[in-house]
Structure 1
């Protein structure tokens, strides 16, 4: 597991085993800057998601705001662990299908909202996006997806 390590060695970040060790060669942000970037991106994403509820009656505007907020919120962790590690974690064998469903439903919602302008399809894609985001989030909690699956199976199992 990643551990939060803010100590500096000779003015440089500790590279092995720390949460902030990977910079992917793109930029080198200080640990405090990474935390600020994470917080700003997460707060902006949550704000977009909450503000999208105001325009819920207009599915196209709702889809655009909610999808953009989701992308910001999910991408916020890239500030902490680096974009390369974020992508590797998203493409891990235990969550590759959840990631594909999530990214696909975000794209479908935006396509249905921006190009096709179909409210019903946009709402269906948004429902899929929310379900895929929940399933993706559960992949980070040990045994959570198995527990939810068994719960749904037991609730839907109707023997007469």
Structure 2
């Protein structure tokens, strides 16, 4: 309807849109493209994590493990940007229900790399990788309705 109105009024199509709107219109992805890139990015993240685990037992393998495992988690985390867009993803990451999980994930990513490259503490790097896994798992299940409650009930039932 807007196009018809623009044609009838004699205005060009791009004249009404600002530069930002033109860039956003030209950079939108179709649903199938978003799903394909999500799968590619997520699969590369999983592949990096597996490759890092395989490199763990080489000389200087702990550094490679920490880097590849961290890169894998970053790729898996950023893969969801293709599904919902980067701004919406960032907005949802820092919602009150996910704020602590997001901060712990980001902190563990940074501390893993710090423990390998600056502090040279192998045991600490492995602990932070384990914490990365647990934080990413907790963050991921926050997107599933009532999943956190189910996990908490399961743990409280097992412990009591």
Does the TM-score normalized on the shorter chain lie above 0.5?
A: yes
Taking structure 2 as the reference length, the TM-score comes to 0.76
Distance 2:38 2:137 in 1: 20
Does the alignment pair 1:63 with 2:58?
A: no
CA RMSD of aligned residues (A): 2.0
1:127 to 112, 130, 134: 130
- From 114, 118, 121, the counterpart of 1:118: 121
Between Structure 1 and Structure 2, whose CA radius of gyration is higher?
A: 2
| Length-normalised TM-score, structure 1 | 0.76
- Give the gaps of 5 or more residues in structure 2: 4-22
Q: CA deviation at 1:34?
A: 2.5
Moved more, 115-124 or 25-34: 25-34
Give, in angstroms, the shift of residue 41 of structure 1. Answer: 1.1
Higher percent of residues as helix: 2
Counterpart position of 2:36: 36
The size of the alignment, in residue pairs, is 135
For 1:47 and 1:53, how far apart are their aligned partners in 2? 10
Deviations for 1:86-113, whole angstroms, at most 9, x for unmatched residues?
Answer: 0011111111111111111111101111
Unaligned 5+ segments in structure 1 are 1-9, 11-23
